[in-house]
């Protein structure tokens, strides 16, 4: 199981990023919020880009924004593995996904808890990763939604039927107790559980 660690709940970002850099977490998950698509808002890119000073880990960027094309080129310029946008956006989704790919970055779509998996179908050929939200996006520390387990299974079947090799990532309320509901995914995104622990590596080990 791959682990992507979110710093959304961090109270001391620089210190926590340095500590995470000493662990074997596979990715650093960056939650980017514009205060429009979701209520909360994160720091601007001119501050976010400084993350490279404190970690050499590859980045897993989750854009919770209304206009992702305004952000894609900036975040593609970092040490980024994935850029994920939301399926629920009222934009030209395919255009944004192709822009990410032109930047040489793997692209993906995120789905909110109430979004049906079948809505991903038109975009499957383009997708490298699908982010299943197991909480409502926009805030850390929420409880895992149990119905996510069935959603992951449904997605797994869909990917197999359409011969897609997209990875499944799950984000929200991930702990050593909820990971069992996500056994068929490829990547677990965890924030509060790791960041609020006394030993980051011990918390990460418990999720693998």
Known catalytic residues are: 31, 171
Q: Which residues contact 177 (CB under 8 A, 6 or more apart)?
A: none
What span, in angstroms and rounded, lies between the C-alpha atoms of 208 and 179? Answer: 9
Tell me the CB-side half-sphere exposure of residue 158, using CA atoms within 13 A: 21
Question: What is the length of the chain?
Answer: 208
CB-based contact 197:9 (threshold 8 Å): no
Which 3-state string (H, E, C) describes 143-200? Answer: CCCCCHHHHHHHHHHHHHHCCCCCEEEEECCCCCCCHHHHCCCCEEEECHHHHCCCCH
End-to-end CA distance of the chain, in Å? 5
């Amino acid at each position: 199981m791959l682990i992507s660690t979110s710093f959304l709940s961090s109270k001391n970002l620089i210190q926590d990023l340095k500590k995470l850099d000493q662990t074997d977490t596979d990715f650093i998950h960056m939650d980017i919020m514009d205060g429009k698509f979701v209520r909360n808002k994160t720091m601007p890119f001119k501050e976010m880009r400084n993350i490279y000073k404190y970690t050499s880990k590859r980045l897993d960027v989750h854009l919770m924004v209304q206009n992702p094309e305004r952000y894609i080129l900036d975040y593609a310029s970092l040490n980024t593995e994935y850029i994920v946008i939301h399926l629920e956006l009222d934009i030209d989704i395919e255009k944004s996904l192709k822009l990410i790919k032109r930047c040489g970055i793997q692209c993906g779509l995120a789905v909110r808890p109430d979004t049906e998996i079948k809505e991903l179908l038109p975009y499957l050929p383009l997708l490298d990763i699908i982010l299943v939200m197991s909480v409502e996006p926009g805030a850390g520390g929420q409880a895992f939604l149990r119905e996510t387990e069935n959603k992951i299974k449904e997605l797994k079947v869909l990917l197999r039927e359409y011969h897609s090799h997209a990875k499944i990532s799950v984000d929200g309320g991930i702990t050593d107790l909820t990971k069992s509901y996500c056994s068929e995914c490829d990547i677990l995104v965890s924030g509060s559980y790791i960041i609020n622990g006394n030993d980051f590596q011990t918390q990460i080990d418990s999720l693998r």
